Structure 1
Amino acid sequence: MNFVPATALIIATYNWPEALHCCLLSVARQTLLPTEVIIADDGSDVRTWTVINKMRKFLPIQVLHVWQEDDGFRKTQILNKAVSQCSADYVVQVDGDVILHPSFIADHLSAAESGVFVRGSRARLTPTKTLDTLRSQNTKIGFYSNGVHNRLNAVRMPFFQQLGQRKEMKSRSVRGSNLAFWKADFIRVNGYNNELNGWGHEDEELAARFINNGICKKIVKLGAVQFHLHHQELPKPNEGLHREVIDQTLTSKIKNCIDGYEKLY
């Protein structure tokens, strides 16, 4: 795009301070820093507060810590609260258990355009590589590193990134761990659905409402690369219910959720 919008990097986290530390170290290595970093904390204990305060010394930008009481998995609510604290026009959203390629923010901003939201690329680290990374705090990970699954997702080729981009009006395979959108579009669809508590598809449901409002999904390959630290999967007792909500959103062309961003006020 022809201009660089003010950009907020939102990092969702819950009680994995070692991973969050690595994530923030990778933020500090960005070739183009975001305007601000906002930690969306779903009730972590004091260890996370300690990591954030430590990393503020290494990041020459504002780092906000938006916290809510630990009352079960309420990621949708804390993300809505985090977006409400953004002063920026554009939001890049990740989880606190990923390592960002040094050009992650720059690639996202290169892909940003009016009328779209963006889904980036994610490679995975093996359990052994994850443990080694957490112990060493070495976030210099790339395509050629040992212990990388889905290695093709780790390819970054800036001169060919446009060839690796495509658009579609589908909400499938959208992950909040590598997502970017305009704050105005997020408010337009009333943000995340607060009724989706527990793990499962809250990002796809948000994407479905983006699409129902004519906001297109842009899939980015060969850029906007991140590396996901290995961990055990979370329990999914509400996944079936969440899937029903997505199906209803798509079938009925629902453009806004009832209990969303606006319920914060």
Structure 2
Amino acid sequence: MKIALLISTYNWPKALKLVLKSAAKQSLMPDEILIADDGSKNKTKSIIAKYQKKYNLPLKHIWHEDKGFRRTVILNKALAATNADYIVQLDGDCIMHHNFVRDHVQHAKKNRFLFGSRVNLKESCLEEIFKNKETEFDFFDQRITKRTRNLHIDFLAKLYKESPELSSKVRGCNISYWREDFLKVNGYNEDMTGWGKEDSEFVIRLLNNNIYGKRVRYNAIVYHIWHKNACRAKEVVNTKIQAESIENRSKRCENGVSKYLENATPSSISK
């Protein structure tokens, strides 16, 4: 099974440094790392090149021009640029526990997607974390919140079962799925631009295809670096699109990844 680690990012190279450092420490290394870059400036490109050389990471940088928040678009382009069997996805502001990839892979099963826990790092500690380039945080660390999410216990993680219901715990910053399932639902819905609901709407279509979700609590932990909230101007529009997907029992979106798959090459995708 070929595994791809998919990291979405936008103009925060300082955070991406820590994410890539945590990628280099994984107990199970992915076969490739896809950086889905929603139009960052050259500093991000330089950081990626540096870490690729420093840690010999199998990095692939997929970039397009900055035309506003187009996370759905760049994620689709990144998925079109890989032939990996299984995708482990997070955001570029989430540091990975050293067993993050391993945990997702060991719970992977056909007709199942996974979603894991997110521990929050406090705003007051960010300067210290960036200065010391820290990527490891134990249960008693005073710089984290939601500390019970920071318990890594394999046998407890196995107790959670898959479900056909949409969980409020689903986050695109900690999710994994089979690439064939992603293609089946035509990936992310590019009618949804701006922040809000793009991940849960994608998951709804998976569920409507009888691809059920399993929460991977006590495994698959990420540490979310605090930042100000994104602009939520499109949330109402995106919520309406999600509601229509629920009402219509949608199994596939029209405006999705398929447009990038025909005659796709890395050079044709990264624009």
TM-score (norm 2): 0.93
The amino acid across from 1:200 in the alignment is: G
Give the 3-state SS of the residue equivalent to 1:153 in structure 2.
helix
Which residue, 176, 183, 199 being the options, matches 2:179? 183
Aligned pairs for 1:60-139 (under 5 A) are 60-139=56-135
Which residue in 1 is equivalent to 2:6? Answer: 10
Alignment partner of 1:198 is 2:194: yes
Give the 3-state SS of the residue equivalent to 2:33 in structure 1.
strand
The amino acid across from 1:198 in the alignment is: G
Cα drift, residue 130 of structure 1: 2.4
Does the 8 Å CA contact 2:24/2:57 hold for their aligned counterparts?
Answer: no
Cα drift, residue 85 of structure 1: 1.1
Q: Runs of at least 4 residues of structure 1 off by over 3 A? A: 58-61
Cα drift, residue 263 of structure 1: 2.1
Residues 196-216 of structure 1 deviation map (CA, whole Å, 9 limit, x = unaligned): 000001000000000001100
Which residue in 1 is equivalent to 2:163? Answer: 168
Equivalent-residue separation in structure 2 for 1:54 and 1:141 (angstroms): 25
Give the 3-state SS of the residue equivalent to 1:54 in structure 2.
helix
% identity of equivalent residues: 37
Give the 3-state SS of the residue equivalent to 2:210 in structure 1.
coil
Which residue in 2 is equivalent to 1:42? Answer: 38
TM-score (norm 1): 0.95
What value does the CA root-mean-square deviation take over the aligned residues? 1.1
Residues 43-81 of structure 1 deviation map (CA, whole Å, 9 limit, x = unaligned): 000110111011002333420000000000000000000
Cα drift, residue 22 of structure 1: 0.3
Residues 77-98 of structure 1 deviation map (CA, whole Å, 9 limit, x = unaligned): 0000001111210000000001
Alignment partner of 1:56 is 2:56: no
Which blocks of at least 5 consecutive residues in structure 1 are unaligned? Answer: none
The amino acid across from 2:207 in the alignment is: I
Alignment partner of 1:155 is 2:148: no
